Structures are given as C-alpha cells and as structure tokens.
Amino acid sequence: MSTDSPRKRGIIFRCFRFLWRSLRAINTIVFGFIALLLIAVVVGGAVFGQRAPSIPVGGALVLNPSGALVEQKSAVGVVATFTQANQVPQQTLVKELVDALALAKDDTDIALVVLDLDKLQQALLPKLVRVADAIADFRTSGKKVIAIANNYSQSALFLAAHADEVLLNPEGLAIPEGFSMHQTYFKSLLENMDVTVNLFKVGKYKTATEPYTRDSMSPEDKEARLAILDAWWQAYTDGVETARKLSSGSLSSMLQDAPEQVRAAQGNLARLSLDSGLVDRLMTSSEQRNYLIELAGEDTDNNSYRRVGYANYLRAKSASPQQESSKVAVITAVGTILDGSAPAGEIGGASLSKLIRKARLDDEVEAIVVRIDSGGGSKSASEMIRTELQAAQASGIAVVASFGSVAASGGYWIAASADQIWASPTTVTGSIGIYGLVPSFEKILARYGIYSDGVATTPMAGGASVMRGITPVYTEVLQLVIDAGYQQFLTTVAQGRGMDVEAVHEVAQGRIWTGEKARELGLVDELGDIEQAIAAAARLADVDDYSVWYVDEELPFEQMLLRTLTNGVSSALPPIATDPVKQMALQIRQELGFVGRLNDPHNAYVICGNCPTGR
C-alpha cells in the first residue's frame, strides 16, 4: 500500500467536509433569505398597504366564512403553519360577520350582500343564530341578500335560509341530515395495552371519563345528549322552516322518508333541494356569476361582479370609536381551561386573570362582560378566574357572564358568581360535576420486565406514579379531594345563584342542559346574546353613555410580527385535508392526547365530556 494513502484519504475527507459545510451554509442562506422575504412581504403589506381598500359604489358585500365559526381564533405557530399546513384550522370570527352586516345596513355604497357559503364547514346553533339575526336586521334596509354555493353544509343552509334568494349548483345539494353526537371509546385498547386508568369522580352524569372506562355510551350519557340534540333539531328546523316559509315539521318528515324522497327526485339531490323549498334556483357557477353581475354591476378587471370582501370592508370602515368616559370591558374566554398561561383559543388561569385584572384596574371600566365558550378544564384554574372576577365585583364593577355555544363544567364555574348570566336558548351549559383521572403503566412495564421499587418516609410520598400506579392511601386521598371539590362546586353555585346546596345538587351531578332549560332551573338569568349582555352590564353599572372595550393581551413587537406572518400565510393555505383515514387518526390522537395536556395540580377537573367541541 502506498505511504501517501492516509494523506489522500485525509484530503478526500477534508474535501467532503468542506462540501458538506458549504451545502449547510447554502441551505441556511437560502432558507434565511426565504424567511426574510416572507417577513418583508407581510410587513411591507402591513406598512404600505394601510390605504383602505376601495368599496365599489352600488356593489356587493361578500360574506364568505371559511371553516368553523368561532368566538376567538386559535393561535397557530409559524412552524406549524409551514410544516403542518393540512392541519391549520380555518376559522371565521362571528363578530366580524355581524359587524360587517351592521355597517353595511346603512352604507349607501353597498347595494346587496352575497353569502358565499361553499367553505363554511361547521358552527353550533348559537353562533348561527347570531349571524342569522344580523342578516335579518340587514334586510330591514330593503337591500337584498343572495346566498350562493355549489353545496350547502347543514350549518351553511341555516344561514342561507335567511337570505332573499338561495342559489344552488345543479350538481350540488342543500339538505340537512339532523344532529348526532358520537364518542370514541378506548377501554379495551387500554386494557390490551395494560394501561391502568385510575378514576375518581362525583356525579351520575359526569361522563367525561367514560371513553377510558367503557366501550359504549352509558344510558345516562345518552339521555343527556339526546335531550340536547332534540332541542337543537327543534330550533334548527323552526329557524329554517320559518325563514323559508315551509310548513312546520316538513324537514323532519322529509328525512324520515329520505329514500322515497330521493327516489321521487330520481336520485337528483339538487332537484330534491329545490322541490323541498330549501333553494330558489339551480344555477351553474357561471350562471350565478352572471346573475350577480346583473345585480351589482360588472368588474371587467376580474371578470366578475363588483364586490368587496367583508375583511377588506371592515378595514376600509375601521375608525377609532368615540371614547366615552365609561367603558364596558368584554373579555373572551374560549377553549379548554388550563393552569398557567395559554395562547388564544385556550384559557389560561393566569393569563385570563391578568386580563380581568387589567380591566379592573382601569378607572374608566364600570362593567365587565366575560364571553365564555368552554367545556371546562382545570378546577384550580377555573376557581382562580372566578375569584379574579369576584375581586372586580368587590371593587364596584358589575360582572355579567355571556355564554356562547358551550359554557359547561369549568366554563360554568367561572360564571357562577356573576351578577347576571346570559345564555342562548341552545347553549350547552351545566355539567356541574368533577372528576380525577390518572393513567399509570405499571402493568405494561411489568410485561417487559421493568419494575420500580424504593423507600419513602410517609405513606403519601411517591404514592402516585405513572410507573408504579397509585397506592391505596393515595387513592383514598384523591377521592376525598374530588368529593370536596364537588361540594365546593355546589357551594359556589349555590352562593352565586342564591340557591340551596341541595337544590343545586338536584340539577348538577354532571348533567348538561340547554340554556333555555338552565334558565328554568335557575342556573341562567336571561336568554340573549352578547349584545344584550353588554347592555345589561351597562344597566347594572347605571351608565347610559359608554364605549365597549374588547380587552386583549398586549403583545411585544416580535409576537405581533409572528402573528401577522402566520395570519398572512394561513390565509393562503388550502382547506384542511379531508382524507377520512387521516382525519380518523388525527381525531384519535387528539382525544387520547387530551388527558396529557391537563395540568391541574390536584388532578381535579371540571370538564364536560359530552359537550360539543365546535367553538
């Protein structure tokens, strides 16, 4: 072998190392440049695009909600935006749709409203009713509302029914199917995996733990869910049938005899939609566009009708509201309740308390309205938020709770001491109960020859371990904590609602109720939406002239830039993938992972397991 072989190998190695480092450097430069370019585009658009969008005189205002209707958009990190684009949630703020309709009602530049509902996926009834009411109010101006879509989801159809005209593609459909609630159960899977589910609960109807302890829905859970679903379906059909001037019960009759109805329409669902009175005309996309050009005029540059999207319209109409000396602060509480701080779309005990404190310490705030859309979460975080609201009341500030689609369990706990509670008739509320859930893996570890052993100074030390399980002493203590937590919940509600503890227990036990039934039971004061709740808060505070202040967390410049970048990228993403296998896997991962995200220090949770998840 040649003596210079090691030298040659060293040279080759250094060349490859140099090449590798060069490639890494190029990679860093290229992706850094792309990131800077994206930031420059977004920031440039924010800085140089402040000029208000033009509003075509006599044109159409387009409301084109995408994804789910929500009270507050979930925070999405920039990494997730780029790496998990097919899972980025598409969400539309209900408030923006309502605000746009209110402004357009008296705007002489707006001749009509077009509801483009192809991308609206889901929304619970309280949100749909709020938008539908805004549509009805807009129509009192004498201006038309035209609904268009290739297909109408059940949620979209509810909104479309409140338009003057409903247009449908001849290959589409506009037929509801009714409401259902189903739950995935993991008991057998967990047993096969030798995972021990240590459960502690109080409440006959507290079914949040059933997915981990059963393989089917309990009779109690079915009873509670069906009561909610029947109320929803009655409200939905009443709303659509009244708006479309259909005979009462016609929707239910059609669905009870669905095969015969489809057979009569020769399998053409669009024709069935038309014959059933749910749409007015069958038009292709081109025909819809030409019809709207007749109504709003032609935009020759875009080969379409003259229009402005609701987001641009709101930006064009944005102006600093007149500030009165008195303010009603509105604080939004949406999502699972967790200890500590949480981003938008979740409720952090510390972060939401900070917003309440911010409003309380503002000398101009006379009242606080907390808008709740949550099925609960951590008990300790729920109590932290409630006591912060009590501190506001102690300082002379009126506190009103306004329930969105769901305000149950921990969501109800937050509101229990409010001066007034307002809910929608179809709000899901109640679920006054508590449980503890601690999974442990000692069985599966033993299967593979893994054991844990040691010593402790007291029976409590190390008594709860994911590797060893839970000792009898620790089990007894946890059940006592859960029992005490339930009594605390009952007492809190009783004191806040002026009821006896036993009377609260009768309507508690984890049972869910509609907002309308909750008012009958004394858990809710009035039925109405957030606008009525704000007006009620002002009356309680005895103020006539006031401004409404939506309290948000103040973000540093870096976070504001990240949010702007994320929103800009997210808006350009395609819809979430609908591959059924991927969706099933995602759902199972989310449901199993939910337990791991809960962080109450006492493992005590006030969660409504049978509440819908649409926010």
pLDDT tens digits, one per residue of 423-435? 999 999 999 988 8
The number of CA neighbours under 13 Å toward the Cβ of 337 is 35
Known catalytic residue at 153: no
Report, in angstroms and rounded to the nearest whole number, the Rg of the chain calculated over CA atoms: 28
Confidence of residue 571 (pLDDT cuts 50, 70, 90): very low
What is the rounded CA–CA span in Å between residue 195 and residue 510? 26
The answer on pLDDT for 586 being more than 90 is no
Q: Is the pLDDT of residue 530 over 90?
A: yes
Confidence of residue 207 (pLDDT cuts 50, 70, 90): confident
Rounded CA gap, 415 and 419, in Å? 9
What's the longest Cα–Cα distance across the chain? 99
pLDDT (tens digit per residue) in 40-52: 554 555 444 455 6
pLDDT value at 14 more than 80? no
Angle at 315 between CA 313 and CA 318, to 5 degrees: 110
> Which residue among 409, 417, 424, 431 is the active-site one?
409
Specify whether 54 is catalytic.
Answer: no
Which member of 95, 206, 379, 517 is catalytic? 206
Q: What is the pTM of this model?
A: 0.83
Residue 438 pLDDT level (bands cut at 50, 70, 90): confident
Average pLDDT, integer, range 83-110: 84
CB 139 within 8 A of CB 86: no
pLDDT of residue 186: 86
Distance in angstroms (rounded) separating the CA atoms of residues 75 and 87? 13
Please name the residues in contact with 70: beta carbons below 8 A apart, sequence gap of 6 or more.
91, 92, 93, 94, 127, 334, 373, 615
Q: Are 615 and 405 in contact (CB under 8 A)?
A: yes
What's the CA gap between 245 and 392, in Å, rounded? 47
44-48, 108-112, 145-149, 601-605: which range is least confident on average?
A: 44-48
Q: Which of 81-90, 195-204, 347-356, 478-487 has the lowest mean pLDDT?
A: 81-90
Average pLDDT, the chain: 85
pLDDT confidence bin for 37, thresholds 50/70/90: low
- Judge whether residue 80 has pLDDT over 50: no
Band of residue 202 on the pLDDT scale cut at 50, 70, 90: confident
Q: Which of 126-135, 461-470, 506-515 has the lowest mean pLDDT?
A: 461-470
Q: Which domains does the chain show, CATH number per domain?
A: 327-607 (3.90.226.10)
